[in-house]
Amino acid sequence: MASGKRKLPCDDGVPLVHKQVRYGVKKHVAALILARGGSKGISLKNIKMLAGVPLIGWVLRAALDSEVFDSVWVSTDHAEIAKVAEAWGAKVHHRSPEVSRDSSSSLETIQEFLRLNPEVDVLCHIQATSPCLHPFHVKEALDLIMQKGYDSVFAVVRRHQFRWQEVKLGTDQMTKPLNFVPANRPRRQDWDGELCENGSLYFTNAPLIMNKGLLQGGKMTYYEMLPEYSVDIDVDIDWPVAEQRVLRYGYFGRVTPEVVKLMLCKVSGCLTDGRIFTSASGEEMISVSTRDTGGIRNLQKEGVEVVLLTTTEDPVSEALSKKLAQQTGCKVKRVGVEPLNDVKEMVEERKLEWKDVAFMGNDEQDVMCLNLSGLSAVPKCSPVVAGNAAKYICNNVGGKGAVREFSEHILLQKKKANSQMEQDRIDRKNF
């Protein structure tokens, strides 16, 4: 079954979270992400930043927003991974040293978790290295367990690759094709391809894991995911490819930025590096990157209003604010120590909802605005409390391209959302 945002045969409109019942018995469904600290491929890979989010954050966001789990856990042996997991809303299973060795298998770690959490009836093992997982993937795969009666369900992707038998070096053995006939090579459109595990998720009834030591067994089936969502990260070379893929196909939260109309950006620490220069004559000056102002203009061309924010704590003078307004073509508004009060007024005056707003801040007082906005970001090296609240953490620091980076991210998400809306319109027309 190819995945997509479509209505399933058993979808009666009732949220899946209210239908986690099989044969009249309520099931405790738990998600478990394994995140050992001793990754050999990439050091602390599970919390390394990928497209502005810790790697593990992508799957945690999808799992939590699916709203089908009674509990979402991260199993780890590392304190920093535990902190990130908790910041993203997961519970932490502090695994024992016995299942934290290089030789330890995923099955052993999962069995330890289930022994300590016997209330779990159905377990979903989600791999942290699959950052393009979406809530609808989780919901549709779980439906096969809860509504169709399968004991185990795992994710696959369709591949069209010709495979050959390996030949050991130094031998005269000839290779041979494994899945096709060379004299009759099929065209892609004439070949269904093969189903390969993509590692994104594994749903299994807990007794099958504990009693038989199987993640795949009993009455089992697969859940097919489209290739664009099938991303796996193992070594360094995978990282830049995954980052580009996740920016286009990753899940950025419940709010879909279909119509971002207002961008609010703090001046100090975002548009600038927070410094103000004073000349010998006492004239104040700030440095603003042309990359950032170019990003602002790109947003304005797409109909997004950009308002720059200065606070009562910032030493940016009225005269300097006017120069900024002239330089960027934006309105510059001074807000109080708690920006939310003034920002809320701006949103209400324009008759907008928070999903229509993008916000860029860089400090603790910005947390509420970062949480509420449909899209939000902080520059690199912002305080942890601000980074945890933001939906995107820039690779650039304030005053040196962070605003440009976030503006491009906004436009990319708008383009992606508009493409999805157009596809949905076509699908409805052809239904």
Active-site amino acid positions: 185
The backbone torsions φ and ψ at residue 265, rounded to the nearest 5 degrees and listed phi first, read: -135, 125
Q: Do you know the residue count of the chain?
A: 431
User: Rounded to whole angstroms, how far apart are CA atoms 106 and 34?
Assistant: 8
Q: Which of 362, 385, 367 is nearest to 310 (CA)?
A: 362
Report the amino acid identity of residue 209. I
Q: How far is CA 228 from CA 152, 183, 197, in A?
A: 24, 31, 14
Q: Beta 331-335 vs 305-311: how paired, if at all?
A: parallel
User: Rounded to whole angstroms, how far apart are CA atoms 185 and 294?
Assistant: 50
Contacts of residues 294-301 at CB distance under 8 Å and 24 or more positions apart, as own/partner, are 294/404, 295/403, 295/404, 295/405, 295/406, 295/407, 295/408, 296/263, 296/265, 296/328, 296/329, 296/330, 296/403, 296/407, 297/329, 298/407, 298/408, 298/411, 299/263, 299/407, 299/410, 299/411, 300/329
To the nearest 10 degrees (0 to 180), the angle between helices 55-66 and 135-146 is 50
Contact 169, 233 (CB under 8 A): no
